[in-house]
Amino acid sequence: MNTPTLSLTIGTVAKRAGVPIDTIRFYEREGLLPEPLRRASGYRSYNETAIKQLRFIRRAKELGFTLEEIRDLLALSSDRRGGVKAIRKRAEQRLAGIEARIAELMRIRTGLQQLIEVCPGHGDPEHCPILRALADEEPQA
């Protein structure tokens, strides 16, 4: 194993994890990072683990997890029994959410494409199919 590397300052951790200092304190307040040890002066005192945790958070964010979900994942990751099952379930839920959002956006895309296709791009706004589509009344009941 490697040297324990004690007492990194928040600035060092920030640089090494690629995260602004303020964001680290923010994550701590929000319960995503454990409260670190403190020096006598009050300075936060980190070790390498903190950097790994920050990278975990960064990757999870890249995968579309909210901070709330990440807090949940972090809690589960220390649950030795059942943790894995629950984690996989969270990932599946996240996947389902993302797929739903993709489907929704594709529906929107189709709508926009159709409007653009039939719009001549000139003439009177009264005949613009984009505006007409937006303004038209609901089909009469």
Partner DNA sequence: CTTGACCCTGAACCTTGATAAAGGGTCTAG
Partner DNA sequence: CTAGACCCTTTATCAAGGTTCAGGGTCAAG
* Residues lying near DNA in the complex (CB under 7 A): 9-12, 14, 20-23, 25-27, 39-44, 61, 66-68
Rounded to a whole number of angstroms, the minimum distance from the CB of residue 92 to its own copies is 6
Nearer to DNA, 21 or 133 (CB): 21
Residue 11: contacted member of its own copies, DNA, none (CB under 5 to 8 Å, by partner type): DNA
37: helix, strand or coil = strand
Of 127, 65, 59, 121, which Cα lies nearest the Cα of 90?
Answer: 65
Residue 21: contacted member of DNA, its own copies, none (CB under 5 to 8 Å, by partner type): DNA
Residues 31 to 70 in contact with its own copies, rule: CB under 8 A: 52, 55-56, 59-60, 62-64
Do residues 70 and 49 touch, judged by C-beta distance below 8 A?
no
Distances (CA, A) of 26 to 43, 64, 71: 16, 19, 13
